[in-house]
Amino acid sequence: MTSTRKSIAIDMDGVIADTITNFIAWYEKDFGIRIGKEAFHGKPEMEGLPDNAVRKYVYSPGFFRSIPVMEGAKEAVLKLAEKYDIYIVSAAMEFPQSLIEKYEWLHEHFPFISWKNIIFCGDKGIIGTDYMIDDHVRNLDVCKGKTLMFTAGHNAGIESHTRVNNWNEVLELFDKEVGE
């Protein structure tokens, strides 16, 4: 039987998983230098840290497993799951070693998301949900449904999608959407 509920695709990195905080923590551990989040503002994530560190970390065992949960994400996704079919969608194929770490991370932090609702892919254009929450324009641009761009340093100044700055704003938007 097909669900009559609307569906939401939710990205992992930069949306429910706070990758920038983890990049900064790993860099400080390696180099003893604390870099602020502003280092990632207005540039691609790969250019956020010196020494090509971001590229090194995304290929390092343990990086994806140790990412902290984005503030408010777990509670918001739980609330959304009451009314919507939730799919966690991550373009994980670029860093294939991340697959098991991402799966384990989701199992630990979002155990209420069924394995049937986890999609690891390369191109999110195949995703046919009613909504997509993502921090990358390239993923939102190919979405067939309504899009929400989760604010990140690399998407500063982009206004082609509805912007949300945090999970409270996501919940407010969906409350308006269903007329509550």
Residue range 48-62, pLDDT digits in tens: 999 999 999 999 999
For range 143-172, the mean pLDDT: 95
Q: Is residue 63's pLDDT more than 70?
A: yes
Per-residue pLDDT for 30 more than 70?
A: yes
pLDDT at 92 over 60: yes
pTM: 0.94
- pLDDT exceeds 60 at position 1: no
Annotated catalytic residues are 11, 13
Q: What is the pLDDT of residue 3?
A: 65
Instruction: Give me the pLDDT at residue 4, please.
Output: 86
Please check the confidence at residue 174 and state whether its pLDDT lies above 60: yes
| pLDDT at residue 180 in the model | 46
Nearest Cα neighbor of 137 from 150, 122, 120 is 150
How do strand 162-164 and strand 146-150 relate by DSSP bridges?
parallel
Q: Flag whether pLDDT at 2 surpasses 70.
A: no
The per-residue pLDDT for 48 is 94
Neighbours of 33 (CB within 10 A): 11
Task: Note the pLDDT tens digit of each residue in 73-86.
Answer: 999 999 999 999 99
Contacting residues for 50 by C-beta, under 8 A, at least 6 apart: none
The tokens of 56 are what?
């090194």
**Which amino acid, residue 23?**
F
- The dotted CATH code for 7-18+68-177 is 3.40.50.1000
Helix intervals (H) in 32-83: 53-58, 73-81
The mean of the pLDDT values for the chain is: 94
Hey, where are the domains in the chain?
7-18+68-177, 19-64
What element of type H or E holds 7? strand 7-10
- CA 78 distance to own-chain centroid: 15
Q: How far apart (Å, rounded) are the C-alpha atoms in residues 53 and 16?
A: 22
| Residue 93: predicted pLDDT | 86
Residue 179 has pLDDT above 70, yes or no: no
Taken in order 62, 64, 65, 67, is the CA torsion positive or negative?
positive
pLDDT-derived band at 96, boundaries 50, 70, 90: confident
Separation CA 142–CA 127 (nearest Å): 9
- pLDDT value, residue 56: 96
162 three-state secondary structure: strand
Closest alpha carbon to 77 in 103, 45, 114: 114
Question: Do 92 and 60 form a contact (C-beta atoms < 8 A)?
Answer: no
